[in-house]
Amino acid sequence: SGEFYRHATTEASQATLASVSPVFAVMKLDKEGNTTCFEKKKTELYQELGLQARDLRFQHLMSIATRNNRIIVRMEFLKAVITPEFLLVLDYRNLNLEHWLINELASQLAGEGQLVTYSLPFEFRAIEAILQYRISKLQGRLNTLQPQILETLEALVDPKLLSVDRSKLHILLQNGKSLSELETDLKVFKETILEILDEEELIEELCLSKWTDPQVFEESTSGIDHAEEMELLLENYYRQAEDLANEARELRVLIDDSESIIFINLDSHRNVMMRLNLQLTMGTFSLSLFGLIGVAFGMNLESSLEEDPRIFWLVTGIMFLGSGLIWRRLLSFLGRHLEPPLPPHVSAVLKKSQPAAGRVEVKSSLKAEAFGLSRSALTNQ
| Residues 61-93: tens digit of each pLDDT | 788 888 888 999 988 778 889 998 899 988 777
Q: Residue 101: inside a domain, yes or no?
A: yes
Q: Residue 371: inside a domain, yes or no?
A: no
Phi, psi angle pair for 69, to nearest 5°: 60, 35
Q: Residue 166: inside a domain, yes or no?
A: yes
Q: Is 77 helix (H, G, I), strand (E, B) or coil?
A: coil
Cα distances from 32 to residues 12, 36, 264, 277, in angstroms, run 43, 12, 62, 79
- The span from the CA of 48 to the CA of 55, in Å, is 13
Q: Which of 31-35, 52-56, 161-165 has the highest mean pLDDT?
A: 31-35
User: What is the tally of structural domains in the chain?
Assistant: 1
Q: Residue 106: inside a domain, yes or no?
A: yes
Segment 52-68, tens digit of pLDDT: 888 787 666 788 888 88
Contact predicate 229/120, CB 8 Å: yes
Q: Residue 129: inside a domain, yes or no?
A: yes
Of the candidates 138, 251, 131, the one whose C-alpha atom is nearest the C-alpha of residue 185 is 138
Taking the model in full, what pTM does it have?
0.66
Per-residue pLDDT at 279 exceeds 70:
yes
Per-residue pLDDT at 378 exceeds 80:
no
Q: Residue 272: inside a domain, yes or no?
A: no
Q: Residue 369: inside a domain, yes or no?
A: no
Residue 211's CATH number: 1.20.58.340
Contact predicate 233/124, CB 8 Å: yes
Per-residue pLDDT at 105 exceeds 80:
yes
Q: Residue 378: inside a domain, yes or no?
A: no
Q: Which residues constitute the domain of residue 93?
A: 23-266
